[in-house]
């Protein structure tokens, strides 16, 4: 019986040469080559990649892949290291577990801890649509753990230095904003204007709360931040169309100015007689 091949790598200096990315790509896309090298292992023995930069796995996508695996099986083997940690194929691993598989096809490659971390980050950035905040966290790990400068990171992942620098700026945002990005409660478009007001925590909190509570658009956030230095900015009300329509209906019914701002409803009156008129319309005073 032929001995299963183990792949060894000295480094990842040349991403586009004989690198982990290249070999994994060949194994995943060349069925004949993968079949020559793959084993089958107990799915319970596999461990998620400890350096996986992806924080969010969409349940719907995993379920769709799981249904496909039930019908066709796992076409591409999962790539693992000598410790049974997943190098590439964590979505397949999760889907296979959901599908009830007890064994999965794997190909083992020998990687150091540093190589595992570098490849996990580079493979995801190059081949998977990470959230921008996940990408920023991944770059930070490369910077700290692998002692790479932004220029070196950019070269390794095939991005421009300015792209890497701009993405990493997201890590300057408060933790609660970063968490909201991870949870998809706000978009990159919402986050960019917040980067310009980092020095004003109170105002940043104010704008963030407007995004979350009032569901304001990116354009409204940009306008709010642009008007930051005006005297009326913090009193300026940015509401969604439904709130605006409700204000208009109340103003037509009551014949006076009505404003709805966050948790406050304001009804303007000019005199006691005017107040009594409004209360009468609202049914608090009988005719």
Tens of pLDDT, residue by residue over 182-194, are 888 899 999 999 9
Nearest to 41 by CA among 88, 104, 129: 104
Task: Report the 10 Å Cβ neighbour count for 141.
Answer: 17
Residue 139 has pLDDT above 50, yes or no: yes
Window from 15-24, 41-50, 173-182, 206-215 with minimum mean pLDDT:
15-24
Quote the pLDDT of residue 235: 47
Helical packing angle, 113-127 and 20-29, nearest 10°: 60
Is the distance from CB of 277 to CB of 284 less than 8 angstroms? no
Residue 63 has pLDDT above 80, yes or no: yes
Exposure string (b/e) for 173-206, b if CB count within 10 Å is 16 or more?
A: beeebbebbeeeebeeebbbbbeebeeeeebbee
Active site residue 90: yes
40 pairs with which residues across the strands? 105
Whole-model pTM: value is: 0.55
Give the angle subtended at the CA of 32 by the CAs of 28 and 35, to the nearest 5°.
75
Q: Which is higher by pLDDT, 179 or 49? A: 179
Task: State how far Cα 8 lies from the chain centre.
Answer: 33
Active-site entry in 18, 61, 64, 90: 90
Two tokens at 80? 């693992």
CA–CA dist 285, 283 (Å, integer): 5
pLDDT digits (tens, 9 = 90+) for 188-236: 999 999 999 999 988 999 999 999 988 899 999 998 888 875 544 444 4
Residue linked to tokens 């060894």: 8
H or E segment and range at residue 142? helix 132-145
pLDDT digits (tens, 9 = 90+) for 1-20: 444 545 444 433 333 333 44
Two tokens at 15? 């991403």
Q: Give the residue ranges of DSSP H helices in the chain.
A: 20-29, 31-37, 59-72, 90-99, 113-127, 132-145, 150-157, 161-168, 175-182, 188-194, 201-214, 218-226, 241-254, 272-282
Residue 163 has pLDDT above 70, yes or no: yes
User: Where along the chain do its domains lie?
Assistant: 7-130, 173-235, 241-282
Judged by DSSP in three states, 228 sits in coil
Task: Give the sign of the dihedral formed by CA 90, CA 94, CA 99, CA 100.
Answer: positive
pLDDT digits (tens, 9 = 90+) for 73-91: 887 888 888 888 988 888 8
Quote the pLDDT of residue 246: 86
Which CATH number is correct for 7-130, 3.40.640.10, 3.40.50.300, 3.40.50.720, 3.90.1530.30? 3.90.1530.30
């Amino acid at each position: 019986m032929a001995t299963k091949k183990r792949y060894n790598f000295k480094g990842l200096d040349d991403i586009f040469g004989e690198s982990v990315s290249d070999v994994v790509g060949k194994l995943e896309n060349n069925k004949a080559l993968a079949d020559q090298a793959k084993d089958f292992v107990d799915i319970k023995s596999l461990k998620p990649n400890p350096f996986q930069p992806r924080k969010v796995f969409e349940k719907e996508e995993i379920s769709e892949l799981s249904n496909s695996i039930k019908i066709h099986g796992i076409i591409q083997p999962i790539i693992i290291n000598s410790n049974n940690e997943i190098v590439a194929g964590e979505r397949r691993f999760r889907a296979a577990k959901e599908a009830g598989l007890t064994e999965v096809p794997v190909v083992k490659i020998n990687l150091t801890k540093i190589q595992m971390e570098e490849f996990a980050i580079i493979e995801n950035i190059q081949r998977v649509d990470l959230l921008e905040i996940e990408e920023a966290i991944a770059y930070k790990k490369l910077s700290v753990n692998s002692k790479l400068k932004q220029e070196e990171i950019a070269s390794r992942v095939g991005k421009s230095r300015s792209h890497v620098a701009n993405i990493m700026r997201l890590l300057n945002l408060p933790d609660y904003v970063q968490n909201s990005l991870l949870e998809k409660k706000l978009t990159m478009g919402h986050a960019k204007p917040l980067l310009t007001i980092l020095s004003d925590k109170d105002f940043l909190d104010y704008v963030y709360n407007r995004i979350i509570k009032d569901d304001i658009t990116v354009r409204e956030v940009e306008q709010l931040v642009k008007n930051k230095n005006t005297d009326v900015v913090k009193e300026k009300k940015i509401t969604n169309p439904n709130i605006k329509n409700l204000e208009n209906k109340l103003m037509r019914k009551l014949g006076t100015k009505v404003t709805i701002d966050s948790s406050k409803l304001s009804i303007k009156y000019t005199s006691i007689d005017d107040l009594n008129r409004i209360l009468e319309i609202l049914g608090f005073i009988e005719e």
